[in-house]
A and B are shown apart, each in its own frame.
Chain A
């Protein structure tokens, strides 16, 4: 099976700005397999930031949940469509921007997601729906908008925050 259909990935030399210089832009066909590859690429892109393991796992979880959501809900039942992902890094942390041309979020807003409870009976345990809960727990400044048939989701992860703008030591 081809997993890289339509996958393209551009890594930019990040300008050091407070708002967030672009680390990478990618666009790919919305499939779960491509989400995997996009996450793999994103984690490689973030390596020069020297994030702590705890920070890396937060990024990986939030990114996976947000991108899987596009595959599952914006383009349901295998409807073909593209996803665009932009990673920016600035003094406030990592900004993740995701765009797609699929279905809008229900009621024009991001869902709350399932909240964990302590005492679910065995057979009533939820098997899904924690995606948005995890994103909301891990991310800050979550913004959703829709314009001209395009979903726009952006959120910030307070990771890799430095007092001075970060300029990774990329090979010259």
Chain B
């Protein structure tokens, strides 16, 4: 489960370099998210552009990743494929996360927006 983090305009950006976040990797995704976001503060953007498929376990891992960051920290998502967007929409998780089309779009948001 390859994931990297970088700082983009002062924000933590986690990039997922895998095509699937499914039951086979859900636990590792959540652990990696913990490692990659613990040291940082503030808003985190997760770039899912490479991801073509998320199942309910993968969705749970994304939700769990946000919860483990603690209250007051926002996690936004970028680059959802049609299939991934469908799973978020059907489970109404699209109303829990802020979803942007591109990293540029996401980083145009003020850094302190709640």
Contacts and interface: CB of A to CB of B under 8 A. Distances in A.
Q: How large is the interface on A (under 10, 10 to 19, 20 to 34, 35 or more residues)?
A: 20 to 34
12 contacts: A36-B22, A53-B83, A54-B82, A61-B87, A64-B55, A125-B66, A126-B63, A127-B60, A127-B64, A128-B56, A131-B57, A133-B90
A122 B57 contact: no
Interface in B74-114: 82-83, 86-87, 90-93, 95-96
A51 to B, nearest CB: 12
Q: How large is the interface on B (under 10, 10 to 19, 20 to 34, 35 or more residues)?
A: 20 to 34
Contacts of A152: none
Nearest to A68: B23
Given A123-B67, A125-B96, A72 B56 contact: no
Contacts of A128: 56-57, 60
A123 to B, nearest CB: 6
The 9 nearest A-B residue pairs measured at CB: A116-B92, A57-B83, A32-B24, A127-B60, A128-B60, A130-B56, A64-B55, A32-B23, A131-B56
B96 A61 contact: no
Interface of B: 20, 22-24, 53, 55-57, 59-61, 63-64, 66-67, 71, 82-83, 86-87, 90-93, 95-96
Nearest to B53: A60
Given A68-B55, A117-B92, A134-B56, A35 B23 contact: yes
B87 A68 contact: no
Contact of A65 (B56, B82, B93, B96): B56
A98 interface: no
Interface of A: 32-33, 35-36, 53-54, 56-57, 60-61, 64-65, 68, 71-72, 116-118, 120, 122-123, 125-131, 133-134, 137
A125 to B, nearest CB: 5
B71 A123 contact: yes
A41 B105 CA distance: 36
A60 B64 CA distance: 23
